[in-house]
Every structure is written in structure tokens, then in C-alpha cells.
Amino acid sequence: MFRRFRIASAALLSLLFGGGAAIHAQNAGTAGSASGITVDYVRYWRNPATTLVEGLIRVDFKVLGASSAPARVDFLVKDDAARTLHSESWNLAVDAGVVASGAAGEVTTPFTIALAPGNYTVDVRLQHGTALDSTVVPITAYAAAPALSDLLTSPSIRISMDSSALGPAEMRRGRYVVERAPRVKLYPSSPALSYYVEMYAASAGGGGDAPQEVSFDIRSPDGGRTLLHTTQAAQVAGAGMPLTGRLNLAGLPPGDYHLVVGLKRAGATEERSAPFTMLPLGSEPRVLAAPARPSSRATADSAVLERYLSSSVMNDSSVNRMVEALLLAPPGPPLAKIARTVPADAQRRLLSQYWARVDPSPGTDRNELFEEYNTRLTAVDRLYSERDTHR
């Protein structure tokens, strides 16, 4: 379940957290150790002076052991004076049978932090049984707009214009949905490498910038060999412009490489890089069919829709009122903004998915959080709304 926090601090502007699943992740900034905990992140610039950090906390199955008791994760964000700006804890439960089977895998939790300029650390600690593992990750927030954000490589980037739920290994960047991996591995049968990076204008206005040159290089890990080089022109304007695409690397010999993206401006080139691996022929994973099972999420959505949000229970104006309230003051993760513009039937479906996701007691007949929120919303509307507009 996703959680949302508001922090009263000039340095830490906002923090969002989400529940994890057994997946893998990759990033431009990575820290980890033999503890089996890794934190990956990428940084983006946001006006007027904010660095948006999106990352994943990854816990290897190997460190969890076969204990049936859930592990506890402590997450702390500190400034350069070692002051804790935020701390949060949650339990990490993984099926003991899966862990004991020796299967390779990870549990991941996404996070998003908005930081003012400066130096910070993210401290992640894992308590499982009597063991304590931890890792500390330094993060520098930009003092001014860079030429490029960190580079994110991916096995797949797709365009999505709806608000459908993301997979545990996916992140949304505007209209793009990016699949994340700890280290992108390409197969000869699917040799395309996807990338996402943001370019920022050299001046506050940005409109008068001349066309600039963006380069793409495939290099050996030590930077000594360049196996592919291509360029393209780009007009960078405004607060930031996403640059995304795919490079067809068919014929690239097996091995480890770096994709290096450079932006040439005023005679100087600023570069960002990310690693990936090309695997040899015959290394494609075997796909084993699993028996289909009914989706508990779909069942829960339908139950909420039928009990609370059907047209016989809640009229269209009340549905729209709840959408507006959740966009302003959600009790959990924010509701997708698209809910404001879709028809009432689509709003009901989005609301049923939302309330099923934040249900504090899933599997029961009632959603207590919905009932309390709706009661409070009715009281606020009765006491404080403008009589003519019900706003």
C-alpha cells in the first residue's frame, strides 16, 4: 500500500512511499553492500530550486532467511548536519516457503523525495530476527539546473495516457511508463535498449537557446573503447524536456557496457551514463506456464463498487464531489488527476480501485476507511460549502 507524507521542512519538501513486490530495479545512483540491501535512484531538476529524487529500495531474499516473522525496515532521510528530516518504518513480509526454496528474488519499495539544494543521506536498516543489516546512500541535490538529469536505462519504455496501476518495477514519467531493472540485460533476440533522460535549458527563459547536439555512445566499462556513436540535434526549451527512445544494438558482442548520453552546449559537453549487459546467444530465460487464478484485486474492486459507489447508492454529483475531495486531501496515495475529466462511470471504477487499494481490512464486507471519509466529507460539505456551487 502506498503511503503519503507531508514534511514541514525547507530541505525535505515531500516524501511518497509505496509497497514492494518481488522485482528488480536499476538507477544512475546506486549504493549497496554485502548486507543485501541496495538503494537505486535518479535525480531530476524542478523549478524553482528543487531536486526530485526517485528511487527503489531493494532487499535480496538471501538476507531474509526462512523465518516466518516479518522483517522491519527503517527508512531515514538526513541532512548534511546528520539531522533526521524524516523517518518511517514498515514490515516486510515474504512467504517463508519462497525464501526457503532458495529462489532468487528481491522485495522492492519505491520512494520519491523532493529536496532543496544540499547534501543528504538516505539510511535504510533491515531488522530480521536478531540480525540487523543497513546501508547509507549519499545524495546531492542540484544547486542549479544541470544540462541533463541522471540517465535511466530500461528494458522497455511505453506510452500510457491513462491512470492504470503501475507494476512494482515501473515508474511514471509524464506520459511514459518506464520498466526499471538493477542492471539492464539485453538478449540477442531482443537487443533494443530504451533510455530516458531530461534536458534543461541553459537560461531561465530557454526560448532563445540555439539547437544543441545530443550524442549517444556505447562504451566499454572503463571508457577506453567506443563501439557505437551517433548524434542528433535538439532544441531545449522551458524547465525541462524529456528525451526518450530505443537503440537497436543487434550484433553487439556479449559483455558489459555503458550507454553515455552527452549534451553539447557552448563548446562543452555534459555527460550521463548507465550500465547494461548484452547476454550471449542461448541465454534467454525459459518461460514456464503457471495455473491461472482469480484476481483478488478485481474482486475487491467490484465489491467496493457494488456496496458504495453504484448509481443506486451514490449519485453522479456525489461521485464527482468525492473525486474533488480525494484530489485535494487523499487519505493515502493521490488519486490520478485524470479522474476529474472522465465520465461518471469511469470515475466510479477509478474510485472503487482506489478504495480497494487503501482498505485497512481487505477481505471483510466493509471498508471502514471509505465510510469514515465519506461521513466526514458529507459533514464538511454541509457545514462549509458554498450553497450555490457546493464547492
* Mean pLDDT value of segment 218-241: 83
Task: List the one residue out of 192, 110, 196 whose CA is nearest residue 152.
Answer: 196
pLDDT of residue 59: 82
Can you tell me which residue has the cell 506520459?
Answer: 175
Task: List the one residue out of 69, 45, 196 whose CA is nearest residue 117.
Answer: 45
CA separation, residue 135 to residues 39, 104, 283, 381 (Å): 8, 21, 32, 47
Task: List the one residue out of 130, 136, 126 whose CA is nearest residue 93.
Answer: 126
- Whether residue 4 contacts residue 334, with contact meaning beta carbons closer than 8 Å, is answered with yes
What's the DSSP call for residue 334? P
User: Which stretch of 42-51, 64-73, 245-254 has the lowest confidence by average pLDDT?
Assistant: 64-73
- Residue range 9-57, pLDDT digits in tens: 333 333 333 333 322 223 356 555 446 788 889 999 988 889 999 888 8
- Whether residue 27 contacts residue 42, with contact meaning beta carbons closer than 8 Å, is answered with yes
- Residue range 78-129, pLDDT digits in tens: 999 999 988 888 887 666 666 566 666 677 788 888 999 999 999 999 887 7
CA 54 – CA 58 distance, rounded (Å): 13
Residue 208, pLDDT above cutoff 80 = no
Residue bearing the bigger pLDDT, 173 or 147:
147
pLDDT of residue 31: 58
Average pLDDT, the chain: 78
Return the bridge partners of 57, or none.
39, 109
Instruction: Kindly indicate the confidence band of residue 352, based on its pLDDT and cuts at 50, 70 and 90.
Output: confident
Residue bearing the bigger pLDDT, 39 or 386:
39
Instruction: Kindly indicate the confidence band of residue 291, based on its pLDDT and cuts at 50, 70 and 90.
Output: very low
CA 34 – CA 77 distance, rounded (Å): 22
Residue 206, pLDDT above cutoff 50 = no
Task: List the one residue out of 163, 159, 170 whose CA is nearest residue 110.
Answer: 170
Residue 362, pLDDT above cutoff 90 = no
Under 8 Å CB-to-CB from 107, ≥6 apart: which residues?
20, 21, 22, 58, 59, 61, 64, 92, 94
Residue 290, pLDDT above cutoff 50 = no
* Mean pLDDT value of segment 260-279: 89
- Whether residue 198 contacts residue 243, with contact meaning beta carbons closer than 8 Å, is answered with yes
Can you tell me which residue has the cell 466529507?
Answer: 377
- Residue range 155-170, pLDDT digits in tens: 888 887 766 677 766 7
Give me the half-sphere count of Cα atoms (radius 13 Å) on the Cβ side of residue 387.
Answer: 0
CA 90 – CA 131 distance, rounded (Å): 16
CA 215 – CA 92 distance, rounded (Å): 42
pLDDT of residue 296: 52
Instruction: Kindly indicate the confidence band of residue 149, based on its pLDDT and cuts at 50, 70 and 90.
Output: very high
Can you tell me which residue has the cell 459533514?
Answer: 379
pLDDT of residue 122: 93
What's the DSSP call for residue 164? P
Rounded to 5 degrees, what are φ and ψ at 95?
A: -55, 120
* Mean pLDDT value of segment 253-264: 93
* Mean pLDDT value of segment 238-249: 83
pLDDT of residue 384: 78
- Secondary structure of residue 325 in the 3-state scheme: helix
Question: In which order are the strands placed within the sheet that holds 84-92?
Answer: 84-92, 71-79, 118-128, 131-141
CA 126 – CA 135 distance, rounded (Å): 9
* Mean pLDDT value of segment 229-253: 84
pLDDT of residue 332: 78
pLDDT of residue 86: 84
Q: What percent of the chain has pLDDT over 70?
A: 75
Can you tell me which residue has the cell 465489491?
Answer: 303
Q: What percent of the chain has pLDDT over 90?
A: 21
pLDDT of residue 304: 84
Instruction: Kindly indicate the confidence band of residue 383, based on its pLDDT and cuts at 50, 70 and 90.
Output: confident
- Whether residue 62 contacts residue 75, with contact meaning beta carbons closer than 8 Å, is answered with no
Instruction: Kindly indicate the confidence band of residue 1, based on its pLDDT and cuts at 50, 70 and 90.
Output: very low
CA 53 – CA 43 distance, rounded (Å): 5
Instruction: Kindly indicate the confidence band of residue 216, based on its pLDDT and cuts at 50, 70 and 90.
Output: very high
Instruction: Kindly indicate the confidence band of residue 71, based on its pLDDT and cuts at 50, 70 and 90.
Output: confident
Rounded to 5 degrees, what are φ and ψ at 373?
A: -65, -45
What is the helix, strand, coil percentage profile of the chain, to 5? 20, 40, 40
Rounded to 5 degrees, what are φ and ψ at 300?
A: -65, -40
